[in-house]
Structures are given as C-alpha cells and as structure tokens.
Structure 1
Amino acid sequence: MDYSLVIAAAQAAGPCPPGDEPDWGRRVQALTVDLHMIAQQAAQDIDRLETSARFVAFLEDVEVEESSRRGLLTLRTPAGDVEHIRTEQQETDRGRELIARARSLKGRWVVVFRYNEKASATKSVRMLAHLMDVGDGAISVNMAKKILLDHAGGAVPRAQAAWSEAGLPDSGAISVEQLEAARAKLQGA
C-alpha cells in the first residue's frame, strides 16, 4: 500500500472538524482512490512518452476529422516532408487537451512525440503523445540528441558520429537548422 497517497489525500481534505471523523474519513478515502487513478494514468502517459519517437516539425494545421472526431495535425519537417498525426478523440479529456495544445502551437516549430497505435491486424495509425514548443527555434542539446538517435534507429555510434561531424556542442541548445545538418550527416553516412 502506498501510504503517501493517503497522506496527500488527508492533506487535501484539510483538518478533521471535531466530531466529523466518519465523514472526513470517507472524504480522505475517496480522495485517495482519485489520486491512485490519477497516478495510474500519469504512469501510462509517461510510459507512452518514453517509448515515443521524437522529431522536430513545423505545425501547419490542426483540424478535427468529422468521421473519427480525432484531431489531425499537419506537420512539415525541416526537410520539407509533410506528416499527418492524429490525437485521441475530441470527446476524451486527453484528446481535447492535445487538440487545444496543438491549436495554441499552430504556426510554430514543435518537438513531436509520436507513437503507433494498432488500428487493425495489418494497419497502424500515427498518434500524438505530446507536443513541446521549440520557442525561438532553440532545442536543448539533450532533446536534440534523443531526436537524432531516433533518426538513427537507435544506433548510438551513428548518431554520435553525425553529431560530431556536424560540429554540434555537448551542452546548451542548438537551432532547428543545426539539428537538420546533423540529420543530413546521418543520412549521408
């Protein structure tokens, strides 16, 4: 049993009014269950992020497909390729949140966290796990290295060689253009 959830629930419930122990106890119990459910969902979301492919793209458009009620993002990679990625259905909390986040980042460079969801025995759909604003176009070196590693298919030596050949720093941040130069080195290897 994770007593930290009970402690957090008791803190959220506030002090127990004298003589109200049974109601207060039920409130703490209900909050503990709610926190447990939130923790399970957060663990699933974190696992999805950890196993997602990451890449940088310009978010061109966000719409909701009429047939599936999923958000459909139109992304353009630095190389000019167009990629379409879907969110969960608009009616779900997660789908609604991802669509709203994507709309707020339309017209900006973003780091895309993508995973594949099985649609049938032979087909999978590219799904959005998360979007991160690149802001002024600077990507942290750690995130850029993870993106390059994804492009290298997990081959660490290839990714490291491309990073070095592009002359990129070991710390700080790099531009989208610098990351694209490293990716070009990777493709040329």
Structure 2
Amino acid sequence: MDYSLVTAAAQAAGPCPPGDEAAWGRRVQGLAVDLHMVAHQVAQDVARLEHAAKFTAFLEKVEIEESSRRGLLKLRTGDGPEEIRTEQQETDRGRAMIERARSLVGRWVLVYRYNETVGRQKSVRMVAHLLDVGEGVLHVNIAKSIVLDAAGQSADRAKAAWDAAGLPEHGTVTVEELDRARATLR
C-alpha cells in the first residue's frame, strides 16, 4: 500500500469538517484512487519515453489526417522528409500534442518517437514527446529540399524561388530566409 497517495489525497481534500468524517473519508478515498490512476499513466508515459527513438528535426507543418483523425507532423531531418502521427484529435492527449506541435512549427525539435502496431502487419510512427530546441538555421541542402517539395518537385520552379529569395548555394539559411523562398511559390 502506497500511503503517500493517501496523504496527498488527504491534503488535496483539505481539513475534515467536524461531523463530516464519513463524506471526507469517501472524498479522500476517491482522490487516492484518482491519484493512483494518474501515477499509473505517468509510469506508462515515462516508460514509453525511455524506450523511444530520439532525433532532431525541423517541424514544417501539422495537419489532421482525415482517415484516422490523428495529427500528422511533417518533419525534415538531415536524411529527408519524415511524417509522424499523434494520437487521435478527439482524445485529450492527442489534442494536447497537436496543440504543442502547432506551437512549434518552424522550429527545431527533439522528437521522441515510438512505433504503434495497427492491425496485424502495420506499424505507425507515433510522437511521444516534442522538445523545443530553438529556431536555429537550416543547412542549405535541407532548405533546398523543402523548397523543392513546396514547388511540387519542379526543380526549375524551386531554383527560381531560391534565386529570387537571394539565398546562398552553400552554408546555412534562417527559417525567415526559407519562408521568403517558399512565399515566391504561392
């Protein structure tokens, strides 16, 4: 028995009103059970994070996937584009992760990813946590691939947008410079 949960529940319930011991006791009992359930969920979340793959990526966009109602995060790593999903939008955890991801669009994030088995043979990449690592800059090759995607894979349109924005051929570009190149494609 974890008496610390009972202690925490009693503190949350506040002082016991004189003559209302039975109702107060039920309140403490209910709060202790709720805290136990929260602790169990936290333990599962921590275990998921401990076993998650971790990588840094630029978060480009967040959409809602029509078929599953999951958040779909469009990321860019040094290896190219990657998509990763949240839990369903209708769940508290899914909604919270979608909001968090939307607040981090245009930033570098540390992604904690795990695979969720869907059906018998399909595995879906899921986000367990996102940690903001800042605005920073993008390597030119990553930025060029983002512009190429924005140009619908048309190398000519991408090069024209890149040149119109006055971006360098080597080194790095800021997110603002990248946005300038993408804006010419709209």
TM-score clears 0.5? yes
* Aligned-partner residue type, residue 63 of structure 2: E
Structure 1 segments of 4+ aligned residues over 2 angstroms from their partners: none
> Is the CA contact (8 Å cut-off) linking 2:58 and 2:109 kept in structure 1?
yes
Read off the aligned partner of 1:21 and give its amino acid letter.
Answer: E
Alignment of 1:1-189 (within 5 A): 1-77=1-77, 79=78, 81-137=80-136
TM-score by length of 1: 0.70
Amino-acid identity (%): 73
Choose 1 or 2 for highest CA Rg.
2
The answer as to whether partners of 2:62 and 2:98 remain within 8 angstroms in 1 is: yes
User: What letter corresponds to residue 17 of structure 1 in structure 2?
Assistant: P
The one-character-per-residue Cα deviations of 1:34-72 (angstroms, maximum 9, x if unpaired) are 000000000000000000000000000001111110000
The Cα RMSD (Å) is 1.5
- TM-score, reference length from structure 2: 0.72
Work out whether residues 106 and 135 of structure 2, in 8 Å CA contact, stay in contact via their aligned partners in 1.
Answer: no
State the Cα distance separating 1:136 from its structure 2 match.
4.9
Deviation at 1:120, TM superposition (A): 2.3
Counterpart contact for 2:72–2:85, Cα < 8 Å: yes
What's the CA shift string for 1:106-127, capped at 9, x where partnerless?
1100000000011122220000
Secondary structure of 2:47's counterpart equals helix
One-letter amino acid of the counterpart of residue 82, structure 2: E
Paired AA for residue 126 in structure 2: M
Gapped regions of structure 1 (runs ≥ 5) = 138-176, 178-189
Q: Deviations over 1:136-161 (max 9, x none)?
A: 54xxxxxxxxxxxxxxxxxxxxxxxx
**How many Å separate the matches in 1 of 2:72 and 2:40?**
27
SS in 2 for 1:58: strand
The number of equivalent residue pairs is: 138
Q: Distance in 1 between matches of 2:121 and 2:21?
A: 56
Provide the rounded CA distance (Å) in 2 between the counterparts of 1:112 and 1:40: 23
- SS of residue in 2 equivalent to 1:134: strand
